[in-house]
Amino acid sequence: QVQLVESGGGLVQAGGSLALSCAASGRASSRYAMGWFRQAPGKEREFVAGISWRGGWTDYADSVKGRFTISRDNNKNTLYLQMNNLKPEDTAVYYCAADFGKTGYPSQEPTEYDAWGQGTQVTVSS
């Protein structure tokens, strides 16, 4: 199994930027897709961005396209999410997740993911 630990959350004003990181450990191979999800109070967990195991294919929720960028460094076993032009509606707990499915491409469905981090809070003030 893989252990995931997010970092980089915090409080930022609308229009600002934050960079999240997710460190993975416990699995010899990085050949698995990864994703970022978020959950706001009273709402379901939703897909934010996903990346294939090689990093060459990415997917984004419509609400973050053009503002967020997902990337990974398999040599460092780390997943990243660069968030620019943040909006108050981006406020949520952000989770990274690993999808061990055979395709190596990420799903937008939370139920397809096999391992989750503990989450990091992102708060955007207006």
pLDDT tens, residue by residue, 34-92:
999 999 999 999 999 999 999 999 999 999 999 999 999 999 999 999 999 999 999 99
Determine contact, residues 118/5, Cβ cutoff 8 Å: yes
| pLDDT for 29 | 78
Average pLDDT on 15-37 reads 93
Per-residue pLDDT for 12 more than 80?
A: yes
- Who contacts 73 (Cβ-Cβ below 8 Å, separation ≥6)? 80
Mean pLDDT of the chain: 95
| pLDDT for 73 | 96
| pLDDT for 18 | 98
DSSP state of 111: G
DSSP state of 17: -
Where residue 102 falls among pLDDT bands split at 50, 70, 90? confident
